[in-house]
Amino acid sequence: MTQIFVDLGMDAGWAMIVSAIIGSLLIALPLMLAVAMIIYVDRKVWASINLRRGPNVVGPFGLLQSFADGLKVMLQETIIPSAANKAIFLIAPIVTFTVALAAWAVIPFDAGVVLADINVGLLYILAISSLSVYGVVMSGWASNSKYPFFSAMRASAQMISYEVSIGFILVCVVLYAGSFNLSAIVEAQKGHGFGIINGYWFNLLLFPIWVMFFISALAETQRVPFDLTEAESELVAGYQTEYSSMSFALFWLGEYANILLMCSLNTLLFWGGWLPPLDIPVLYYVPGIIWFLLKTFFFFFMFSWVMATVPRYRYDQLMRLGWKVFLPLSLFFVVAISGWLMFTRYGVAA
């Protein structure tokens, strides 16, 4: 895109800045729309599983429910507790929201359709997702209230624990793909299974890794069954308890943007990203972005499905799963996969 602005007679540096701003808007605005719609989908899926109707009043089939909620939230008064630490109280939702958007910079939607095609893309995502804990911790502390504080404690412990296993899981994928660049990882999955199936899921060593990644992603985004930070029976609404109006909405949007990010990572790392599921020429007539969105949507459906059917974990069970099950298992798979690759691909050095 930079080239277009250079042709229009712009300085190279300015052209880069302008194209970066336009590119960011092109990602952020559709993303916000997608988040609004995905919240509607989420509520509809839970409703269907619970044999309810879900939102069906605002607009046809209730499609405009999220926008009505957004408008309502914007018109509400922002209440800041008098005992709160004002600056941090207000910065916390901004941090959550910004961090949730920033990670999308390296997500490739189609071949070459990516804002920043950097060669440390996956590390960037790890770094950004490790930042997202700060929004929760800051809001919990700044609220100066017990429930948010407990929630912040739980969140920081939980996210640190699961980041460790997510790190090892990503190492396995990187070992197979031979690159940290997300586009290169997707390209490496072309025809991975018998030369016809696109995606790393079709691999006896990587399928268990995918299952672990899916569960860790649930824990990392604090979705059910790992939503101990906002367990309503224990902590009212967790770290969001003291928030109102737009500051609450920013948490809400950031949370769903993070969930969508994890779904798209699932797609990119294990299910072939923008590539069609099978490596057949006919399927390539469908644009890559359609495949990408379809797969991401399917994983989002799985997230909602889990939310509607699985009961919440106890806190000690959560920690046990992270440290005593996932960590040793993912370490084992790092060793097994690197051993297998040395044996088959690179050859053992004499």
Partner 1 sequence: MLHIIAFYLFAALVIASGAMTIMSRNPVHSVLWLILAFFNAAGLMVLIGAEFIAMLLVIVYVGAVAVLFLFVVMMLNIDFAELRAGFMKNAPLGVVIALVLVCELVLGLGAYRAGIIELGTPSGEVLLGETNIAQIGELLYGRYLFLFESAGIILLVAMIGAIVLTHREQRSPRGHQNIAKQNARRPEEATELKQPGIGQGVEL
**Segment 52-91, which members bind partner 1 (CB under 8 A)?**
85, 88
Q: Which of 36, 106, 138, 215 binds partner 1 (CB under 8 A)?
A: 138
Q: Which of 41, 58, 111, 123 binds partner 1 (CB under 8 A)?
A: 123
Contact in structure between 277 and 198 (CB atoms under 8 Å): yes
Nearest distance from residue 320's CB to partner 1, in Å? 7
Residue number, 40 or 124, with CB nearest to partner 1:
124
| Span near partner 1 by CB under 8 A; candidates 136-144, 195-203, 211-219, 255-263 | 136-144
Q: Which of 101, 105, 133, 250 binds partner 1 (CB under 8 A)?
A: 133
**Segment 16-55, which members bind partner 1 (CB under 8 A)?**
16-17
Can you tell me the distance from the alpha carbon of 189 to that of 1, in angstroms, rounded to the nearest whole number? 27
| Span near partner 1 by CB under 8 A; candidates 9-17, 73-81, 101-109, 236-244 | 9-17
Write each residue from 165 to 194 as x if it is in contact with partner 1 (CB under 8 A), else as -, in one continuous string. ---------------x--------------
Residue number, 36 or 138, with CB nearest to partner 1:
138
Q: Which of 104, 124, 200, 274 binds partner 1 (CB under 8 A)?
A: 124
Residue number, 41 or 118, with CB nearest to partner 1:
118
**Segment 320-349, which members bind partner 1 (CB under 8 A)?**
320
Residue number, 293 or 319, with CB nearest to partner 1:
319
Q: Which of 71, 120, 280, 294 binds partner 1 (CB under 8 A)?
A: 120
The CA dihedral of 171, 101, 300, 150, to the nearest 10 degrees, is 80
Establish if 311 lies at the interface with partner 1 (CB under 8 A).
Answer: no
Establish if 126 lies at the interface with partner 1 (CB under 8 A).
Answer: yes
Report the interface residues with partner 1, using CB under 8 A.
13, 16-17, 85, 88, 118-120, 123-124, 126-127, 130-131, 133-134, 137-138, 141, 149, 152-153, 156-157, 159-160, 163, 180, 316, 320
